[in-house]
Amino acid sequence: MLEIQTRDHLYLEVSERIEKLIEKKALKIGDKLLSVRALSKEQGISLSTAFQAYYHLESKGLVEARPQSGYYVRFSPKHSLNIPTSCEPSDEATPVSVDEIIGSVYKNLRSADNLINFSLSSPAPELLPAAKLNKSVTQVLRDNTDSCLSYEHVQGNVELRKQIARQSFNWGGVLSDEDIVVTAGCMEALAFSLQAVTQRGDAVAIESPTYFAIFQVMESLGLKVVEIPTDPLTGIDMDCLDNAINKLNIKACLFVCNFNNPVGSCMPDEKKKQLVTLLARHEIPLIEDDIYGELYFSKTRPRTCKSFDKKGLVIQCGSFSKSLAPGYRIGWAIPGKFKDRVVKLKRMNNVSTNTLAQAAIAHFLANGRYELHLRHLRKALHTQCLRYMQAVGQYFPENTRITRPQGGFALWIELDKKVDAYRLHKRALKHNIGIAPGQIFSSQGHFENYFRLSFGLPWSEKVEQGIKTLGELARKF
């Protein structure tokens, strides 16, 4: 086992060094790489390890093998299309007007057969550890005296909360199980958090663009939104947020700081610290949606805003829906000073979260299976991200802009202003292709010529053909 792990580590180490040379343009598109034999000799590795390194780069679409010639650089993210532009800052708090387009988009997608679904920001089932999760379900049913038929504790399964507390070490947290409230998915955690810190008519600062379900929650709670422009690389515009705080009576903020959906931006850790300090000065609660935090492509997990929180004003929300089991609907909140309010809201709304699902995930985590699964999932998503980016660059018009996410599931694509993303969505459906038009990611229907392309589906000829067809449809505008 140790020998296998060492060999795996070696080929990944070699491939990562070559990948960095490609990113820094030390190796350019079309450059020939060392032969497998030469790489083996130069790096002091076996021929099979050298081949694995090249095969790994080939799976990412970074290099290609040419018959009787060797390996060549095929693609570099640095050579891809420009990054999309940000929106203009908002100068007022506006009522949420969730467009019927949201219902239209997802109603159509559910009814389509043989759909290439680029619209759902979640992993394909084949990327998830179904067999191992099934074993955990079977085991907890055997071990539980009443077969998980009873209500679970209102705050959540104790063992699950302990496992989540241990996971917090990765993002700089120091928690106990008492700090955590288990919920039915991340959206319920966000809803309880908003209710705990706001009243009807209050203004809440959010990113622009942001995940459309957040608008639906705010609409149901009678809240107004202040949209803060988001840089595709570093997250919210801090100056715009500061100005909004001084001009408008903002009662809370709700941000996705790690791999925002749909932009994919990741706020640098130092900027997160500045954000927490700014909001603490004004005594404004921050609801941090960290649902994508574990899906990073670099070597280390980005920290959370919660890790910089000294006043208990940051409510961190998360879930296993994007990383492990979407259908289990298990999420959580770390409410800080608002814990009693969140627990009360949970007791009033649903009494308890699914007993069996909590116990199964707790067992899965306790047996060390989660981190191994995450390593495989991150590797697969990074590979898919690069492949999708490459295909968009190849098949879409030259003036297309695209993000370069370092984690998560989403590519945010800006098309020519002549293109209406909702019309593109309608035309794509006729070809059994689903996308998420940009209008649904703004409370006011902005981003008409943008769309989100999720790369949760493993790369295949069918996926490539779908992206090629989208590019052809975009050109027809």
**Within this chain, do residues 335 and 405 fall inside the same structural domain, yes or no?**
no
Exposed, middle or buried: residue 270 (CB in 10 Å: 0-12, 13-18, 19+)?
A: exposed
* Among 341, 369, 397, residue at a domain's last position: 369
**The residue to which tokens 């920290």 are assigned:** 303
Residue 83 is assigned to a structural domain of this protein = no
Residue 106: pLDDT above 80?
no
**Within this chain, do residues 137 and 110 fall inside the same structural domain, yes or no?**
no
Residue 111: pLDDT above 70?
no
Q: What percent of the chain has pLDDT over 90?
A: 72
pLDDT band at residue 215 under the 50/70/90 scheme = confident
The span from the CA of 49 to the CA of 36, in Å, is 9
Residue 91 is assigned to a structural domain of this protein = no
Residue 262 is assigned to a structural domain of this protein = yes
pTM of the model: 0.85
Residue 86 is assigned to a structural domain of this protein = no
At position 205, the amino acid (one-letter code) is A
Read off the CATH number of the domain in which 420 is found. Answer: 3.90.1150.10
pLDDT band at residue 392 under the 50/70/90 scheme = very high
**Within this chain, do residues 221 and 100 fall inside the same structural domain, yes or no?**
no
Residues 6+ positions from 1 with CB-CB distance below 8 Å: none
Residue 87 is assigned to a structural domain of this protein = no
- Interval 414-467: pLDDT, tens: 999 999 999 999 999 999 999 999 999 988 778 999 999 999 999 999 999 999
Residue 113: pLDDT above 70?
no
Residue 90 is assigned to a structural domain of this protein = no
Give the per-residue pLDDT at 96: 53
Give the per-residue pLDDT at 5: 46
Residue 218: pLDDT above 60?
yes
Q: Looking at per-residue confidence, does 97 or 163 come out higher? A: 163
Read off the CATH number of the domain in which 256 is found. Answer: 3.40.640.10
**Within this chain, do residues 233 and 362 fall inside the same structural domain, yes or no?**
yes
Span of 11-20, 97-106, 259-268, 427-436 with lowest mean pLDDT = 97-106
Exposed, middle or buried: residue 340 (CB in 10 Å: 0-12, 13-18, 19+)?
A: exposed
Residue 114 is assigned to a structural domain of this protein = yes
Give the per-residue pLDDT at 61: 84
Residue 68: pLDDT above 90?
no
**Within this chain, do residues 102 and 67 fall inside the same structural domain, yes or no?**
no
Q: Which candidate, 339, 317, 88, 92, places its Cα nearest to that of 214?
A: 317
**Within this chain, do residues 118 and 179 fall inside the same structural domain, yes or no?**
no
Please write down the HEC assignment for all residues of the chain.
CHHHHHHHHHHHHHHHHHHHHHHCCCCCCCCECCCHHHHHHHHCCCHHHHHHHHHHHHHCCCEEEECCCEEEECCCHHHCCCCCCCCCCCCCCEECCCCCHHHHHHHHHHHCCCCEECCCCCCCHHHCCHHHHHHHHHHHHHHCCCCCCCCCCCCCCHHHHHHHHHHHHHHCCCCCHHHCEEECHHHHHHHHHHHHHCCCCCEEEEEECCCHHHHHHHHHCCCEEEEEEEECCCEECHHHHHHHHHHCCEEEEEECCECCCCCCCECCHHHHHHHHHHHHHCCCCEEEECCCCCCECCCCCCCCHHHHCCCCCEEEEEECCCCCCHHHCCEEEECHHHHHHHHHHHHHHCCCCCHHHHHHHHHHHHCCHHHHHHHHHHHHHHHHHHHHHHHHHHHCCCCCEECCCCECCEEEEECCCCCCHHHHHHHHHCCCEECEEHHHHCCCCCCCCEEEEECCCCCCHHHHHHHHHHHHHHHCC
Tokens of 1: 């086992």
| Other CB atoms within 10 A of residue 249 CB | 10
Residue 85: pLDDT above 70?
yes
Query: Do 18 and 27 touch, CB atoms closer than 8 A?
Result: yes
Residue 44 is assigned to a structural domain of this protein = yes
| Other CB atoms within 10 A of residue 239 CB | 11
pLDDT band at residue 80 under the 50/70/90 scheme = low
Residue 255 phi, psi dihedral angles, 5° rounding: -130, 150
Residue 382: pLDDT above 80?
yes
Residue 100: pLDDT above 60?
yes
**Within this chain, do residues 231 and 170 fall inside the same structural domain, yes or no?**
yes
* Among 307, 342, 369, residue at a domain's last position: 369
The span from the CA of 366 to the CA of 471, in Å, is 45
Residue 433 phi, psi dihedral angles, 5° rounding: -125, 130
Give the per-residue pLDDT at 108: 60
**Within this chain, do residues 347 and 384 fall inside the same structural domain, yes or no?**
no
**Within this chain, do residues 139 and 240 fall inside the same structural domain, yes or no?**
yes
**Within this chain, do residues 264 and 173 fall inside the same structural domain, yes or no?**
yes
Alpha-carbon distance values, 469 to 63, 460, 462 (Å): 24, 14, 10
How many residues appear in the chain? 477
Q: What is the mean pLDDT of residues 219-240?
A: 94
Q: What is the mean pLDDT of residues 216-229?
A: 93
- Interval 313-358: pLDDT, tens: 999 999 999 999 999 999 999 999 999 999 999 999 988 999 999 9
Give the per-residue pLDDT at 92: 59
Q: What is the mean pLDDT of residues 123-127?
A: 94
The DSSP bridge partners found for residue 183 are 331
Residue 84: pLDDT above 90?
no
Residue 424 phi, psi dihedral angles, 5° rounding: -60, -40
**Within this chain, do residues 9 and 63 fall inside the same structural domain, yes or no?**
yes
- Interval 129-162: pLDDT, tens: 999 999 999 999 999 999 999 999 999 999 999 9
pLDDT band at residue 64 under the 50/70/90 scheme = confident
Residue 277 zone, left/alpha/beta (φ > 0; ψ -120 to 50; rest): alpha
Read off the CATH number of the domain in which 65 is found. Answer: 1.10.10.10
Q: What is the mean pLDDT of residues 355-380?
A: 95
Q: What is the mean pLDDT of residues 210-234?
A: 92
**Within this chain, do residues 255 and 198 fall inside the same structural domain, yes or no?**
yes
Residue 3: pLDDT above 60?
no
Residue 62: pLDDT above 70?
yes
Residue 4: pLDDT above 50?
no
The span from the CA of 143 to the CA of 146, in Å, is 9
Q: Tell me the pLDDT of the chain averaged across its residues.
A: 90
User: Which domain covers residue 385, as residue numbers?
Assistant: 96-127+372-475
Give the per-residue pLDDT at 78: 62
Residue 94: pLDDT above 70?
no
Number of domains in the chain: 3
Give the per-residue pLDDT at 2: 40
Give the per-residue pLDDT at 69: 81
Q: Which candidate, 184, 218, 177, places its Cα nearest to that of 339?
A: 177
Tokens of 364: 């899965």
* Among 340, 369, 398, residue at a domain's last position: 369
The span from the CA of 77 to the CA of 363, in Å, is 39
